[in-house]
Amino acid sequence: METSTEKDLLLIDKLNQVLQHVKNTFVGKDNIIDLMGICLAGRENLFLLGPPGTAKSAMVRELAKLLDGKTFEYLLTRFTEPNELFGPFDIRKLREGDLVTNTEGMLPEASLVFLDELLNANSAILNSLLMALNEKIFRRGRETKHLPALMFVGASNHLPEDEALQALFDRFLIRVRCDYVDPKLLNEVLLAGWQLERKSVDNPPRITTDEVAQLQAMTAQVDLHEIRPLYIDLIQKLRNAGLSVSDRRAVKLQRLIAASALLCKRTKAQPSDFWVLRYIWDTEEQQEIIAGIVNSVVEADPEKSESHPQAHINAIPNADELYQEVVILMEKWDKPETSLPDRTVIKDRLRYLNGRCEWLTNEEQRKYVQQKMDELWKKILHTGEKA
């Protein structure tokens, strides 16, 4: 960084080391973990969408262990009451006629908050949650408490269907899909999971909540002047494509663009830092549209050597690549010398590709790829019947 001190660089290194440790622990989740780091430095909220068993809560817990602050984690149900999140009234004070909340060990005292099955939230807790998420304030009656939360992470296996929950979802600026990892990485996943089980890392890197707060203050000092005209143009392109990017969200996203620059040890943002905008979708169908618009700007950045590692990685599947891989799998399956273990690998891989195919938002492309997959599944079933 041009005007940074050695202390500033050390703080950035500490956060990057923490993120790398979490990446080593959770194979195939680099984009999610990098977005956690971006949201942590930018003091914005992150939403994880994915089925059970995809390490959503485990990743948040691992990151929380590397912070020295308090963590609050809760699984929401339709019947969750405000007291379960924010704390009960203090009985001693209540006897004296004061309505004071006992927040010890509850959300208002946490540095990192994880709300699982977020979209189960009911109307009783909705207003309190909205204020906590947006303004980092807890208010009950005459009580007003500023929250120390550095970041909120929400998770669900579905997107909001109820209009009332849309406002809650909107408070999570970044949304990322958390899916099962590629079967090719299964061996690495098992090794990393076993190491986590054995707690084999004696001295993992750590960062304090005060140091994260310092990084958040540094993020606000990143120079966005040169990229702002390009940013305005990008927001307009997204809106013209029918995507809802409110003025409030456009303002807040600047912090995440700045956080991307900061974690690359730059005092100035560059167009490649717009990569974070790939994750502002409201529906899964929007992912490919947004990625196409954002990537056209990111790829045009001449300063690729100084880009964030995630800037030039596109998680949206390519229909042609999926189709070609299915063709290769079919050729391998048709060979008589293909062993039983290899055939098992082919089936596992096909299941994974089948999940990726669902991400294709172009219906014609999806049908085209799915038809080839169905053809291979028929071959597999036919082989099983013959056996």
Residue from 194, 256, 161, 266 nearest 223 by CA: 266
Distances (CA, A) of 5 to 11, 95, 116: 10, 53, 39
Burial level of 283, CB count in 10 A (0-12/13-18/19+)?
Answer: exposed
User: Helices H, strands E: what count in the chain?
Assistant: 15, 7
Cβ atoms of 176 and 284 closer than 8 Å: no
Residue from 142, 119, 145, 122 nearest 132 by CA: 145
Instruction: Label residue 111 left, alpha or beta by phi (over 0 means left) and psi (-120 to 50 means alpha).
Output: alpha
Per-residue pLDDT tens digits for 68-90: 889 999 999 999 999 999 988 77
Position 17 scores a pLDDT of 95
**DSSP, res 137:** E
Which residue is associated with the tokens 């959503």?
Answer: 56
* Residue 126 tokens, joined: 């909705």
Per-residue pLDDT tens digits for 195-225: 666 665 568 899 999 999 999 999 999 999 9
Q: What are phi and psi of 86, to 5 degrees?
A: -100, -15
Per-residue pLDDT tens digits for 244-254: 899 999 999 99
Position 97 scores a pLDDT of 60
Burial level of 308, CB count in 10 A (0-12/13-18/19+)?
Answer: buried
* Residue ranges in the chain modelled with pLDDT below 70: 1-4, 91, 93-98, 183-186, 188-189, 192-202, 314-316, 359, 361, 384-387
Q: Report d(CA 167, CA 63) in Å as an integer.
A: 27
